[in-house]
Amino acid sequence: MHPYRTVLGSLDPEAAEKVAQLHVPLRAPIVITDLRTAEMIKYASNAFLATKISFINEIANICEALGADIKEVAIGMGYDTRIGNQFLDAGVGYGGSCFPKDVKALAYMAAEKGRHPQLLYTVMEINDDRREMVVTHIKEMVGDLKGKIIGLLGLSFKPNTDDMREAPSITIVQKLQADGATVRAYDPVAMQVAQPLLPGVEMMPDPYTLAQGCDALVVMTEWNEFKQLDKPRLRDIMRQPVLYDGRNIYEPEEMVRTGFIYRGVGRGFNGMNLEKGAMHNIVPPAE
């Protein structure tokens, strides 16, 4: 009920005007155009937002290498009104019903007409790489995955929905299982939808039952429930206190102080002295 704009594509100006009048109460700009242009506005908008997500994930990779903090980088970028602060959250990549489908469709249509949508291909490639990145980082934290128990906090592609369409968790589960890991999961609302899509994954009734005996926990969806968890309790019931924060919902310093072996996405060293082993988003402090 609060759109940024309403886009109407029509070959009949009179009909378009009547439909526009129906949308006037929404108090949003109304764009009336031809069919192809209306379709392109929708595809281009979603492709651009997907590009922002892939871009900030690419910058997160560079932040990890250089010791910068992607969350602070994103905040600094977002103050520039030409860029804006939305869709600048680094993580495990985009999913859902629109972004993957629309980027693929736009790239396909461009290629069919003899164009080379190089940027769109790169956006998709970066997004695919995020799934592989998660598994690689988990291996770096716990070693060989054979026989390891990995718990996923969240399954849906975003919070406040049970939507599993193109959810990153699906691919990540498959990769973890292929490497010999046993995967458990908990999601506040998506487990019933997710179960048929994730054979071999045991759905748990709550985060603490999930964490019992786990070698690592992985935050897949930024549910508010996960931000409020009793972290010392989680630490004490895990086999290894390893937490990979795929949505950067926790602060590295707090997690390390709590005793976790913690890693976020693109969270750098915050100017800490690396020679003293202060790699705070990966290694916990010495006892």
- All domains of the chain, ordered by start, with CATH? 1-33 (no CATH), 129-276 (3.40.50.720)
Q: Is 63 a catalytic residue?
A: no
DSSP H helical ranges for the chain: 13-23, 35-66, 70-78, 99-112, 118-142, 168-178, 191-194, 207-211, 224-227, 231-237, 252-258
Distances from the Cα of 277 to the Cα of 60, 136, 239, 261, angstroms: 21, 22, 24, 13
pLDDT for the residue numbered 44: 98
Question: pLDDT per residue over 170-197, tens digit each?
Answer: 999 999 999 999 999 999 999 999 999 9
The CA-based angle 111-113-116, given to 5 degrees, is 40
Residue 268 pLDDT level (bands cut at 50, 70, 90)? low
Question: pLDDT per residue over 239-266, tens digit each?
Answer: 999 999 999 999 999 999 999 999 999 9
Token pair in block for residue 35: 């069919």
**Among 30, 31, 40, 98, which one carries the catalytic annotation?**
98
Question: pLDDT per residue over 47-104, tens digit each?
Answer: 999 999 999 999 999 999 999 999 999 999 999 999 999 999 999 999 999 999 999 9
Starting at the edge strand that comes first in sequence, how are the strands of the sheet with 149-153 ordered?
A: 202-203, 182-186, 149-153, 216-219, 242-245, 261-263
pLDDT for the residue numbered 163: 97
